C-alpha cells in the first residue's frame, strides 16, 4: 500500500504564485484527431457541438468539411467565445457561465448546461474533461448525450497518466503534464526533480490523479478552489468505471489523449 499522502506537494520554481493560463487555446490538431478517432466520417451536412471548443480551432482546421452554420461551440471562457464569434460569425457561439477552477473561477458552480434545441450528429470535447472533477464530468456527459441525434456520437478525450508515445526516452503523460507547464517555470519545461520519482510513479499507476498548481492530488473527491492549473488524469480502467458502455480508443499520433466514444443512450 502506498504511503504517499493524498496530496503530494511539488517544488515551486521562479515565481511561486500560480500562473493563470491564457483563456485562448493555441492547441491545434483537433479536427485531425476526431476525424481519425471517428473513422473519417463524411462531415458534410453533419451538425457538430464542440463542447469546450474555445475559439473553434476544430472548425478552422476542418477547412470547409464542417459548415460553420452547422457548428456550435459552448465554452465557459467568455473571451474565447467572443474571439471565436469574431473569427467565424456564421457559427453558433454560446458562453456557459459555469464555474471551472482553472478556466472560469468567477462562474456559477453547477450551472445547468445551456438549453440547445438542435440535435447533434457529433458532440466533441477535446481536453475539456481533463479539467473538471469526475462528478461534473459524469453529469455533463449525461447532459451531452441527451443532445445527440439518433446514431449520433459523443467523443471526448482523457489523459492516461502512464501512457507514453512509442520510442526511447518518451516521457509518460503525467511527467509530460508536470514538465510542461505545471511547476511555475517561466519558460522552458524542466524535468521533474528525481526526488519526486516516487510520487510520479505512484501517479502513473493511479486510477485518478490531478496536477493542481504545484500539487499532485490523488483524492478525486477533494474540492478544488480557483487555481492556475487543474489537470485531471484517468487510467483507461477508471474511464471504463465511469462510463461502462463507452468504447475507449488509444491516442492517435501525434496526440497523447485517449478517446471515449458514447452513443445517445445505454
Ligand X SMILES: C[S@@+](CC[C@H](N)C(=O)[O-])C[C@H]1O[C@@H](n2cnc3c(N)ncnc32)[C@H](O)[C@@H]1O
Burial readout 193-226 (b: 16 or more C-beta within 10 A, e: otherwise): eeebeebbebbbebebbbbbbbbbbbebeeebee
Q: Comparing C-alpha atoms, which of 230, 196, 238, 235 is closest to residue 212?
A: 230
Residue choice 48, 49, 66, 76 for contact with ligand X (CB under 6 A): 76
Residue that is written with C-alpha cell 478525450 in the block: 157
Are the C-beta atoms of 183 and 214 separated by less than 8 Å? yes
CB of 100 to ligand X, least distance (A): 4
In the complex, the smallest distance separating the C-beta of residue 45 from ligand X, rounded to whole angstroms, is: 23
Q: Which is nearer to ligand X, 25 or 37 (CB)?
A: 25
Residue 27 touches ligand X, criterion: CB under 6 A: yes
82 vs 197 by CB, closer to ligand X = 82
Instruction: Write down the least CB distance from residue 198 to ligand X, Å.
Output: 28
Q: Does 228 bind ligand X (CB under 6 A)?
A: no
Q: List the strands of the sheet with 148-158, edge to edge.
A: 92-95, 71-75, 48-51, 120-125, 148-158, 258-262, 247-249
Among 100, 182, 204, 257, binds ligand X (CB under 6 A): 100
Footprint on residues 31-60 left by ligand X (CB under 6 A)? 51-54, 57
Report the residue from 49, 59, 74, 239 that binds ligand X according to the rule CB under 6 A. Answer: 74
Largest CA distance in the chain: 55
Q: Which of 127, 173, 182, 257 is the binder for ligand X (CB under 6 A)?
A: 127
C-alpha cell at 97: 457561465
Question: Which residues sit at the interface with ligand X, rule CB under 6 A?
Answer: 25, 27, 30, 51-54, 57, 74-77, 80, 96, 98, 100, 103, 126-128, 131-132
Amino acid at each position: 500500500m502506498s504511503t504517499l499522502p493524498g496530496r503530494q506537494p511539488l517544488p515551486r520554481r521562479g515565481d511561486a504564485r500560480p500562473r493563470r493560463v491564457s483563456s485562448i487555446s493555441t492547441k491545434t490538431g483537433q479536427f485531425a484527431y476526431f476525424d481519425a478517432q471517428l473513422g473519417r466520417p463524411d462531415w458534410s451536412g453533419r451538425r457538430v457541438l464542440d463542447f469546450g471548443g474555445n475559439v473553434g480551432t476544430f472548425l478552422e482546421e476542418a477547412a470547409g468539411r464542417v459548415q460553420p452554420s452547422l457548428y456550435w461551440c459552448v465554452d465557459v471562457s467568455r473571451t474565447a467565445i467572443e474571439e471565436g464569434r469574431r473569427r467565424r460569425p456564421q457559427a453558433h457561439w454560446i458562453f456557459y457561465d459555469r464555474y471551472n477552477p482553472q478556466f472560469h473561477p468567477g462562474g456559477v458552480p453547477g450551472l445547468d448546461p445551456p438549453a440547445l434545441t438542435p440535435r447533434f450528429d457529433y458532440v466533441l470535447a477535446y481536453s475539456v474533461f481533463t479539467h473538471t472533477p469526475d462528478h461534473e464530468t459524469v453529469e455533463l456527459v449525461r447532459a451531452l448525450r441527451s443532445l445527440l441525434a439518433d446514431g449520433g456520437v459523443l467523443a471526448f478525450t482523457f489523459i492516461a497518466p502512464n501512457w507514453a508515445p512509442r520510442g526511447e526516452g518518451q516521457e509518460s503523460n503525467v511527467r509530460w503534464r508536470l514538465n510542461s507547464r505545471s511547476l511555475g517555470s517561466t519558460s522552458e519545461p524542466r524535468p521533474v526533480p528525481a526526488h519526486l520519482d516516487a510520487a510520479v510513479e505512484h501517479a502513473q499507476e493511479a486510477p485518478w490523479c490531478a496536477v493542481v498548481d504545484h500539487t499532485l492530488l490523488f483524492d478525486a473527491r477533494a474540492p478544488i478552489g480557483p487555481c492556475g492549473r487543474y489537470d485531471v488524469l484517468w487510467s483507461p480502467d477508471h474511464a471504463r468505471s465511469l462510463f461502462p458502455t463507452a468504447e475507449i480508443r488509444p491516442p492517435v499520433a501525434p496526440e497523447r489523449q485517449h478517446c471515449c466514444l458514447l452513443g445517445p443512450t445505454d
